[in-house]
Structure 1
Amino acid sequence: MKLIKSNYYHKMILFSIFLITFPIVTVGGFSYIRASHTIQEKVNMGSLQILKQMQHRVEQSLRTADNALTQFTASSSVAKLLTNDVRDVHRSSSIQMIEELQEGLRRIQTYDLGMSDVQFIQLRYQWKMTNKGYEPFSSSEPDWKQLLGAKRGSYWNIGENSIDLVKTLPVTALEPPAAVILKVPYEEISKFLSVDAELGKPFIMDSAYRIIADADSSRIGLSVAAQPYIQQLMVAKNEQGIIPIDMDGNSYNFIFSRSVYNGWTYASYVSIEAMTRESQAIKWFTLLVCVLVLVAGVAASLFGTRKMYIPILRLYQELFTTSSGHASLLKGKDELQLIGEKFRAYVNTEKKMSHELQYQHNQLQDFFMLKLFLGEAEQQEIEDKLLVNGETWNSLRVLVVQIDTLDGTRYEEKDKDLLLFAVNNIVTELVQESDRLLKPILMDQSQVNLIRSTHPTHEEAVRFIDELANEIQQTVKYYLHIKVSLGISRPFNYLKGVHRAYKEALEALNYRIKLGNEAILYIADVQPNDRSLPEYPEKLKNDLIDAIKLSDREQSYRLLQQFSHEVFSVQLSHREYQIMMIGLLTDLLRVLQESGGLLQSLYEEEKSLFDRLFELQTSNEIVEWFFHSIIVPSIRLLEEQRSKQYLRISEEMISMVHSDYDKNLTIEMCAFRINYHPDYIRHVFRKEVGMPFGEYLAQYRLQIAKKWLTETNMKIAEIAEKLQYNNSQNFIRYFRKMEGMTPGQYRNTTDTGAADLH
């Protein structure tokens, strides 16, 4: 199926792609970010662990040296030197103590720390023991007390070229007489620092944030206290951690670990780029997987969207396909919007039609009620309307309500129609649906009701009617402040008696002249004698006249029999039967006279028809006489008149064609001229001439065209224009269709034939 340029189809595709793309991108992005974050965390934790291991190795070596120095200072040889003066190096005791001191210092230097020198400083007696041996203080000797400062006990001191472990002796003395200094070169500690991709660039800072160990020896001794990340480090309370920093345009993680042993800070710069190098591989792999899944998803969405869209497209094409077979343009809207608008229009139309149908139903119901009360409803129509629903009753009555007078009220005569409408509404509310057939209706200044009773006895039915009539009268008076009277017919059982009952109720109301206003009048009370002539079958009479006018003999005979049955089914005298049939004869003669017929040609004078009717003895004789003596001659006479009329109409129309063929002649113009309906003369012309009016006009114009082609030099376009063709092509096309050649070919043929004759 060919897809139109569809906004909705494109929206479905975009939405499907979005539904696929969004979770893929979200999950892929989240996975990549999470993986990168996890890798960074692991690298940071790994770097921190390596840094801690490096710190452990350095401090283990420092502690070893510290322990060795502590053992040395606790020896008896050192204790002797604190109190004994050995400046006299020639004494044997002094020599022995100096040798013991040298031996102890050499043992300390055997530890694997790369110590460059171990010095024993005798402050009291002003001499020292170094790698060079015993030396008394010279004149250029530094002020050791000032160098040692106020610190006492054991502590690490940062020297110019080395890191010094200083122990004052004795440890608890405020004015120590001696001190031992162990010097460790910066380079020896830097040997513990190794640069790798995972750890980055490690280094060690003292408590003043001066670099005391670094793989890059040029950085040793530099102070980094002014760096921003050192400021963050100073504020940080934790012993270890990670601080993100930017340095030289690159991003790093500054990893640190503080030492509780000597207050140093072990730190390293770890490059973010190096850490995320593995995550880049994950990124590209994730991107590749996402792209593959996305391509597969887009392909599936295109296929699925097309499958889902085809039913919508078919529905749209069903609703909006034009007569040319193409769906109308979308005009900036999508199909569902247009379909929704169409269905809303259908719903509104349906509601409107429902209202119209309900209104028409009410109108038809009112019309049926009018026909029923006027005696014009046929038996089949009555059965279809009322008996099909299984309506039952024991007896029926017609109840008519009329306003007595408006004198003495606040109303005027012009308000009477509105008051009747109000009375009708009140009665409709008071009379339950189970107590009436159909709804009440307004007829000729009266409110009319067909009341049914299901009461088993006549007395109960009369009591019900009395109560209902009084309630209607009192309610109308209470709400409208007017007086009304009610006329009630005799009870009857068959719906054919509704018309007669309606007349009885109206007749009962006429007795207000005797009984006064605001009365409830039963026809049985005011006219106790129930004997009266049967209702004249007006409906059957009209149907019979219509059948005669249509020349339908069978239907006329059937309706005549029904009319006779209606009249003779009631017990009447012979003279009363004749009066009813005289009425039918009079109606038929009046119709014939209006049609211009003269039945007197069949009889010497008109009164002989009535005389002959009085001579008939049975109903069958009357029916046969009516049919053969009145109806059949009437049909024959009407047919003759109709034939003459048809001939006259067709002749007048042919005359108009012959005289006005060069004008824009239509069937409507002909009908207007002879004062008939267009449909009627169209039917007459076709019946008399044997072809439609338009075809006859076209053929006559064709004959005129052939005459002009042979007898004149008129151009074909001019002929077409004079004969009222829209253009010459239509004329040529019709001419070829009828004659088998074009007008030009026809003219050439006739010219050649004329030349041959000469």
Structure 2
Amino acid sequence: MCFLYGVIINEPYTRTLTMGVMPVSSRKIRSILMIFLISVVGTSLLSLVLYNISTEIIKHQIEQQTRSSLINLSSRVSNLQDRISQSVIDLQNTQEYQLFIKSLPFKDYESSALVILNFVNQLRTMTASLDYVDNITFYNVENGKEYATNGVMNAQFQEFRDEIAKFETLGASQALFDTYNNGSPSVVYIQALPLFQPKPQGYLIFHYNAHFLRGLLQNEQVDSNYLIVNEEHQIVDSYSIDGTPTRSMQLPETLWQHSESTADSNLHSLSAQGNFYILHHPVNQKWSYIYFVKESLALAPIIELRNIVLLSTVILIVFSLVMYALSINLSWRGWNKISELIADSRDMRSKDDFDLLFHKIQGLMQNHNQLEHRMNVILPEAKEAFLRNILEKGCGKQDLVKMKQYNISLGSNPYRCFCVEADDYKALKELYTETDMSRFEYGIICVIREVMGEANISGFVIAENQTRFVGIYELDKKTDDTTLDDGLAKIKSFISEYFPFSVSIGVSQARSDISHIHLSYHEALESLKQKLIAGSNQVIYFNDFTRKETPFSPDVYEIEHDIVRQIREKNREFAYTALDRLIGIKKAENIDYRSLQNYLVNMTLFLFQEFTADHRLISQISISEMVQLATLEEWTEWIRTHCIDSLIDDMIQSERKQYEQISEKLVQHMENHLEQDLRLNEVCKQLGIPLHLANLALKEVHGVTFAEYLLQRRIELSKKWLRETQMSLDEISNFLFYSNAQNFSRAFKKYVGLPPGHYRKQHQTLTEESSV
């Protein structure tokens, strides 16, 4: 039994299906404009996003690269102050300092000259040990006198009166001041003495030389712009890579406002006035350190990237327009073909192709739902029919593919086959109705499935008839023969207890090759035949009784069934290969020649009885000729030529004859009904021909399908009408079931090479010339 469902479409008919001419230009233009708009917007947004991301990345890279430079710059100033503080501590521990402080105030300069000189010399030693310090002055708070290592410099700076006054105003123990001398920046560091005393006796004033700030800046980065800014946001000193003076430049006030509003005020960046600033304000210093660069210079890579993106955008837009134009053209050409395909003369004529497509798809969906419902009902029956077929005839390569399609998982593990048969079937038929027997059938199948499911044994069970059931179950690593045996015993006991009859179960031996599944089935049937000896209501195992008297191993019988399967598939080479395996039994089997001869004769008769009902072939077998075969090699050669080749040739001839008969019926029906709407599935139903054989027969005999043959005959008929009648193209297309003359003309030109109108004119011209 085989079930096949599909949609059969008459090809000549579908080639002629079309729709009316529609105004589609506006829709094409709208599609192109929409696509173009999406492309422009998308590429513009992409460019903007890339530009912003790249700008932030470059600024972040600059900030990361400059961070260490600014921190190093502030660290140099802090380190110098720390060295000065350490020198001051060392100074306090010297005898010169102690003696100098004790002698204050000096009443007599001449008696104190040596103390002062020793103290000043100590200050000079300190000056020599400190970088960038060129003068140290001690200021006496009590009398305002100063003692300096460089008196000339003291005079130039007016004895640091302004710096001292500012320092006293701060009330701090130390401070760093920036000042100017003759327009040049200078740095002064003041430390109160003695250390850690609330009331100072004097101030140590350290003057940094003019190279201090410039040296710090140049040593840090020679290719960057740096600024040092005091607490009043005034530029103390600066360095520019192009030599441009920057002391007079105006810093943006937002730079400081941003610093106050930022949680991390130690280091932050800002873009303003066409520059990119990075400000570092150390917590323990009053000075700030600024790096700045022109954004046009810093963002040079992003400008180049922006140009590349813009160029890429233009290229992509042009490419998109070209590709969209081509795709739209192809899409509309395809849409026209779809419109022709879905149009149907029996359907309503609509100017709206989308409305027509909607109704067509709606109908297809309804058909699909109906087909799915029918398949859900029929698929189990088809699956059981397929299983019955492989149990009877064996499992070939094509059957393995079908097993995957039917989702039948067998062959990965060893398996065993068993047959469950009701005892005393005739008595059951007399006692119970067909309805009762159907209920028994359903109940036994449920019992088998339930028991096997509880034992975690995978497989399937089918009903061969109302009283015999066949099961194939695998034995994996988790289950063994004992598990299956217990399940079969449970099935037998349950049916005997709850059903009004008992059953006998025949069990085959275990196998691994799925292609020998039919052997397992026949072994299970053979086991049931032993019920005559073993009695009813028993589980009978094939291994307990089989072939105890035969000298052959089961491998010989598997060879026999392999030959049967290959002959059925008309595969000579594989049948020869299976036959050649018989040669090996000479060494593997301890048998006498009479047993082997009887087996070979019986196998030959079995093959002819299995494949042909033609007694002519059987009558051609000469028993005396077979008896004269002296060696196993002669036997295999005789079976190859007189049995395998004869049977396969006979099957091929029978199949060819069947195809010719089916093809003749189909062709005759088409010739008689060319002017009708012919569908292959309907024709097959009328003639009683299987659908899958119809196309196969036409292809085998005539080399064309049903649709192709019907098209050829209709075109030939239309050629006759064009030559011999005055029928219009509309009349011809209607008679041949084309939706309109345009589709008929297209199909005619494709087949003949000329439009029907040119063909009629050409024939009329030839007729007139021949008459003249």
Pair in the same fold by TM > 0.5: no
Per the normalisation by structure 2, the TM-score is 0.38
Per the normalisation by structure 1, the TM-score is 0.38
